[in-house]
């Protein structure tokens, strides 16, 4: 697992991109996703995901943040 880093030469977060095969500027956000397919449980099944999008090639990755 690699961590995002700040880089003084650009205004944002840089991290390794598998598609570009180098460190690139990424837009990083957190999204709540519903994991249950049942309507009655949907409100209790939201989990946070870290979403990173490479600003060079557009490749998007997501990772569940809560593995409880």
pLDDT by residue (tens digit) across 4-62?
555 544 467 899 999 999 999 999 999 998 887 787 777 778 899 999 999 999 999 99
- CA end-to-end span of the chain: 19
Q: Is 12 left (phi over 0), alpha (psi -120 to 50) or beta?
A: left
pTM above 0.75, yes or no: no
Domain-wise residue ranges, the chain: 5-64
């Amino acid at each position: 697992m690699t961590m995002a880093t700040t880089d003084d030469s650009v205004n944002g977060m840089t991290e390794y991109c598998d598609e570009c095969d180098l460190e690139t500027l990424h837009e990083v956000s957190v999204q709540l996703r519903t994991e249950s397919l049942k309507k009655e449980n949907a409100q209790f099944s939201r989990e946070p995901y870290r979403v990173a999008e490479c600003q060079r090639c557009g490749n998007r990755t997501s990772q569940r943040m809560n593995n409880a």
